[in-house]
Structure 1
Amino acid sequence: MDIQMDREKLMKMAGAVRTGGKGTVRRKKKAVHKTTTTDDKRLQSTLKRIGVTNIPAIEEVNIFKDDYVIHFANPKVQASISANTWVVSGSSQTKKLQDLFPSIINQLGPDSFANLKKLAEQFQKREANRAEGGDDDDDVPELVEGETFEEAAKTDTAS
């Protein structure tokens, strides 16, 4: 089966997609390539303005977020204490907390492990209290009837 195309129709179709003059590449729209170097330069200039300094000899960083851990191995860490800003850059892996938990416990020292144990016990008590329908305001004491904060402050300064 031999199909013959009309030359006029073919030239009309080719002319419709040409963006330039005769002999140019037939593209419907121009491809725009953005360079990431401008973003990197802008970020570096902003960090320089904040006054971050490098923190050497950090082997790994774990950022805990909900049920996931963002793990950086051999990251570049920069910090600006005055701006309360930490910059962690490098290749990262996102892992589930359940998968990393045994390896994290092995890295903790005895003091940190005791603190972690206390936090877990407090969390279990709070969850049990919530399940029983108790209030969750253990940290905030109840106000004394008829007393305000201003009156308490006056009596403290007077004594």
Structure 2
Amino acid sequence: MNPERLAKLQAQGRTASKGTPRRNAPKPRTSVAQDDRKLQAALEKLSLTNLPYVEEVNMFLEQGTVLNFRAPKVHAAATSNTYAIYGRGEEKELTELVPGILNQLGPDSLASLRKLAESYQNTAAGKAAAAEEDDDEVPALVESFEEAAIEETA
């Protein structure tokens, strides 16, 4: 092959033969709205209906934390007691949410909240008592170490 012609082809920057596209066109990405439509269709197949005007959802976890959803999308099937909640969830401590959720709790939830508060107090009191017991286990210093070292050497 002629070196001059090869240099000319390299300068053009083509990687394929004449008539082919110079580069691949980027593929269009699916939008979030389209994914949302697919999710809506799947939820409708399960006979879940949209519940509008839900401002907040709190799920109480066993570890004492709360999974909090602000402005979630909620779908429900009341006949089968099935709920689908999706959105951005944050894991928060119960103490952060207590003032805002007291008016939302029913009598059963208030009783369980009291039990949870008592267990927190018991664990805090237990930790404080353990810290005090650790201090009591250390014996008080009666003699000086210097006098004991002198007696041992003699």
- TM-score (norm: length of structure 1): 0.48
Q: Which has the larger radius of gyration?
A: 2
RCO comparison, higher one (Cα < 8 Å, 6+): 2
- TM-score (norm: length of structure 2): 0.50
Structure with the higher fraction of residues in helix conformation: 2
